[in-house]
């Protein structure tokens, strides 16, 4: 198990019924000196996700992320000295909405422009899609 606490730096939501039908999750190491540049990019990209059907986007900066005995966020993302881990998720109404949204986003000029000057090493990003199994 990998545990940690994160401080939200972006939390945008679009109306809906409050239920998550599908979620994209990711972690990425970001140089501490690039925190504000990352937050600005995340805020911009949040709008793109919401434009294409996402209901919520959360970007959270490491706040209380301990070293683990076997693994942890730092090792999983190959964090270097002077970097912090960002833990993020994007909520969608369904997997189908997510698939359609991603197809449209990949053709959007805002996605192309943002990928040219990223304030992090995208090769060390860990991401995936998740179907909820418990919802309170």
What residues contact residue 13 under an 8 Å CB cut-off, 6+ apart? 55, 56, 57
Q: What's the structural domain count of the chain?
A: 1
Contacts of 133 (CB under 8 A, 6+ apart): none
- Residue 50 pLDDT class (50, 70, 90 cuts): very high
Is there a contact between 30 and 86 (Cβ–Cβ < 8 Å)?
Answer: yes
Residue 16's pLDDT is: 62
Domain limits at 69? Answer: 5-130
Residue 22 · residue 89 · CB < 8 Å: no
Instruction: Write the CATH number for 46.
Output: 3.30.70.100
Question: pTM for the full model?
Answer: 0.89
Instruction: Return mean pLDDT, the chain.
Output: 90
pLDDT at 19: 76
Cα–Cα distance for residue pair 132/59, rounded to 1 Å: 19
Is-contact 125 25, C-beta < 8 A? no
- 52 inside domain: yes
């Amino acid at each position: 198990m990998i545990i940690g606490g994160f401080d939200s730096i972006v939390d945008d939501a679009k109306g809906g019924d409050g239920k998550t039908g599908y979620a994209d999750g990711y972690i990425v190491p970001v140089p501490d000196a690039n925190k504000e540049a990352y937050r600005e990019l995340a805020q911009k990209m949040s709008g793109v996700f919401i434009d294409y059907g996402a209901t919520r986007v959360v970007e959270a900066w490491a706040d209380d992320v301990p070293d683990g005995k076997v693994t942890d966020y730092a090792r999983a993302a190959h964090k270097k000295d002077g970097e912090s881990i960002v833990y993020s998720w994007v909520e969608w109404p369904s997997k189908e909405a997510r698939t359609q949204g991603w197809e449209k986003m990949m053709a959007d000029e805002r996605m192309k422009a943002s990928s040219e000057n990223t304030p992090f090493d995208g090769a060390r990003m860990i991401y995936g899609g998740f179907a909820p199994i418990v919802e309170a």
